[in-house]
Amino acid sequence: MSDEMLSFKVKQLRTIRTVLLALHKMLMESEKKLYEARYGPIGGPNEYFKIVLEDEEFAWLRTFSQLIVEIDEALDSRRDPIKLETANELLDVARQTLQPSPVGTTTAQKYYLAIERDSTIAKLHLQIKQVFEA
């Protein structure tokens, strides 16, 4: 039973990771549009990279980036096999991170606003919700 549960949780993590990558990309694009609307066009990829790393407007997205890295590290087949506890912990962190709210943390609020303004982000959020409900 434990092996079946672990297999299920790993499958959930892999699915969350796949959708989270697409979501992260869309959130980055959405945030870039907002940034450019406020401050003007970004000069190029190097300037954009610097802004993403250093500007507070993008700080909330680092939570998503970190989650992707943590999932990747846990699922890395060159490491020790993932344990059920680790899979459960990562799924709990993902569930908490991907919880939009008009009040609460900056990440929750900005994520909520992104879902409200972009139907593609809303659809990706719905996919993630469905994975958690499975």
The predicted pLDDT at position 2 comes to 82
In this structure, the number of other CB atoms found within 10 A of the CB of residue 131 comes to 20
Q: Which of 56-65, 79-88, 124-133 has the lowest mean pLDDT?
A: 79-88
CB-CB contact of 59 with 110 (8 Å): no
Task: Give, as one character, the DSSP assignment of residue 83.
Answer: P
Residue with tokens 């912990």: 89
pTM score: 0.91
Distance of CA 56 to the CA centre of its chain: 17
Distance separating alpha carbons of residues 58 and 31, to the nearest angstrom: 7
With a cut of 90, say whether residue 122 has pLDDT above it. yes
Mean pLDDT of 16-26: 97
With a cut of 70, say whether residue 64 has pLDDT above it. yes
